[in-house]
Chains A and B, each alone.
Chain A
């Protein structure tokens, strides 16, 4: 039997939902329920590219990313993790294919360095010193941050879930939130596939299905879901330290600690949908793109491909906020493909918001910014 009432109900058992639940419990609110329709990390979290980047173009994003990385670095101890989260800090190598892109990197770099993020500019030659088989024929230069990296999204989610459970949080998997009941403009409970839970506070952390949860309280959240695909090769001995990424060439590719190469790109023609099927078109285009930039990878076999949902906002920045329309409805949605890397800070901030504590950082990620036309201009999105 599931609990009949809870102080907070978190909808979504991905890394965001589990991080929120853990932080609530850590800050003293232990009467928390997490609802997951499938199994933990079964949605966008477990399907993501697993990269952790601190090289951003706005002060807020640099702060969220830098502080999240600090938490990733200490996570094995902080959460008393049973199995290592597989953090690998091999860096992120951002490649520029035009002078204009390079100028943008320079501008971002000044901001990053002012905030203590150890990024630096590299010439094509220096990029080849970091990745010797990189084809720099069209590369103008790049930016490199040695402390960026990778962690295992399944293990990070599990670590947050285990730590949350230890503090009393109840996590119900294979339990779907079907409706959110409202009376006099306030939340009164959540109807689930296992019964009704009385509550006054609900967190929408439903990833690709954030829009569906929003409609349960009558809010039209400006997010759309879009399929993004990834493929992974067979494993070989460690060879490539950094994640290689380019916004203009449209690619990311990194070698996981296990030895496989994981890569993806964004298809600009991808329609809004909940489709998470793999396509042969992706396989061909991905292989072509990857072997042009990293010809050595042509010697590897592809062993698997999959897809997941990006939940995208108009400015490709998340909504981390309390709803102004429905009291008690909190949003941690619209991460637009970079939720995993800022999950540790997101968990902390939403918990602070719910417990009405002073926020660690001033956020401009409210839901109403789109209506006001105050979109966040972040130049470094994939």
Chain B
């Protein structure tokens, strides 16, 4: 399923682009969010809960709930439901609460 309408963001569909998810190459439309692109590719697990490692996916979709936080270009805890996907972006499931270690 591809998300085309969103309560707080406007999805202006641009050209087809490529980005990286956990080492895999995926495609997306310019103008949609990272979470929307992952959803369209059938990826429902965006992170795991920090205590019991339960799967967490797109939930509030408007930047409130922390359920979609991922590591984007090395930065942890990025709200992928609000962050627009860009060409060559490196998206990865983060470790636990997020690791700043890759940034220094």
Contacts and interface: CB of A to CB of B under 8 A. Distances in A.
A132 interface: yes
Nearest to A295: B104
B104 A236 contact: no
Interface in A220-248: 234-237, 239
A299 B103 contact: yes
A348 to B, nearest CB: 37
B100 A296 contact: yes
Contacts of A301: 77
A132 B104 contact: yes
B97 A236 contact: yes
A375 to B, nearest CB: 43
Interface residues of A, number: 12
B99 A237 contact: yes
Interface residues of B, number: 13
Contact of B76 (A132, A133, A236): A236
Contacts of B101: 237, 239
A236 B103 contact: no
B41 to A, nearest CB: 27
A239 B98 CA distance: 10
Given A234-B77, A236-B76, A301-B77, A296 B97 contact: no
Contacts of A234: 77, 98
B98 A237 contact: yes
A146 interface: no
A237 B104 contact: no
Interface of B: 50, 75-77, 95-101, 103-104
Closest 9 CB pairs of A and B: A133-B104, A236-B98, A235-B97, A237-B99, A259-B97, A237-B96, A236-B97, A237-B97, A296-B104
